[in-house]
Amino acid sequence: MTQSPHDHDPQRRRLLRRAATVATTTAGAGVAAVSLPGAAQAEPGDSLVMGGTHDAGVQTTTLNGSPALTVKNTAGAPLRLVPGDSIYPQVLDSPVGTLAVDEQGDLFVRSGPTADPVNGWAWTTEWATTSVAVRPVRVLDTRNADLRRTIVSGADTLDPSGRLTPGYPIVIALDSYVRDGYAIKGNVTVVGMTGAGVLTIWGSGAKPTASTVNWATAGTILSNFLFTELGAVGNYRSVLSIQATASPTHVIVDMSSLLVGHPSQVLAPKL
């Protein structure tokens, strides 16, 4: 599976499609016509007898049914295909095995045991994500000049020792670890602060009012779990914005997992 470059707007994500070929079927109520060019044909109400292997070549095989097409399976749940505009409310109470494509192009599935079925949508990179564990790596440590190299904006606002200046955000880019990442999991640590303060980490855009770490005194070493979105700034497509409030502080960010649409987006060494 390949994925084209994209940003974080779900409306711009690429939806991967697959063509499906129906090989066998048994006639049921509502079947209008079945045609396998050069192999067999059936009139409405008749059965299509499949006694061997049939090759339609470059021709398209079409099965028409109204209001739904049902492929019965005497050993289990039938496969029932319905029009997408019939999902609400009819399909929500339909038999197990019902498939439909909704108005957004997502595949609806009625699955589970017959006595207790459930409704769901097939996983696609259009709207779902997957969490990929990576080998833990330190992506920022403002105490170390080498580990400040991920900073792509705001480095000039750090104080002489490398601490964040209150009210001035820095932006770090993780593009060498992930292509168009959605979010990061890891750990954030503050150390070397001069007094009480607050640290906020987010993707991009305006700073949110929420805090990631809070501390009350100077000289504290405090860590917290980090799970936040990745943003985009300019040519950088997987960034974190970090800002301190009230007092300067050093910041350490360790990464242990990335959220992506497909594992192929992860460039960091995986576990």
- The 10s digit of each residue's pLDDT in 89-102 is 667 777 787 777 77
Q: What is the DSSP string of 62-109?
A: -EEESS-EEE--TTSPPEEE--GGGTTTGGGGPPTTEEEE-TTSPEEE
Tokens of 77: 């749940």
* pLDDT tens string 101-126: 776 777 888 888 888 888 888 877 77
Q: Pick the residue with more confidence: 101 or 88?
A: 101
Q: Which residue in the block uniquely carries the two structure tokens 């997992």?
A: 257
C-alpha 17: how far from its chain's center?
Answer: 16
Burial, 209: exposed, middle or buried (Cβ in 10 Å; 0-12, 13-18, 19+)?
A: exposed
Residue predicted with more confidence, 99 or 264: 264
Encoded tokens for 29: 């109520």
Q: What is the pTM of this model?
A: 0.66
How long a stretch of residues is the chain?
271
Is the confidence at residue 17, as pLDDT, over 50?
no
**Is 95:28 a contact under the CB 8 Å cutoff?**
no
| Mean pLDDT, the chain, integer | 80
Report the distance separating Cα 121 and Cα 98, nearest Å. 11
pLDDT confidence tier of residue 7, bands split at 50, 70 and 90: very low
pLDDT of 42 reads: 55
Read off the pLDDT of each residue in 173-189 and give the average, rounded to a whole number.
98
Q: What is the average pLDDT across 196-225?
A: 97
CATH 2.60.120 domain residues, the chain: 130-265
pLDDT tens for 38-69 read 445 555 556 556 666 656 666 666 777 777 77
- pLDDT for res 50: 63
Q: What is the pLDDT of residues 125-149, one digit of tens each?
A: 777 889 999 999 999 999 999 999 9
Question: What is the pLDDT confidence band of residue 74, given thresholds at 50, 70 and 90?
Answer: confident
Which of residues 144 and 27 earns the better pLDDT score? 144
Report the C-alpha gap between 54 and 163 in whole angstroms: 71
**Architecture of the CATH domain 130-265:** Sandwich (2.60)
pLDDT higher than threshold 50 for residue 26:
no
Other Cβ atoms less than 10 A from the Cβ of 237: the count is 20
Sole residue written with tokens 């168009």: 180
The rounded percent of the chain whose pLDDT value lies above 70 is 69
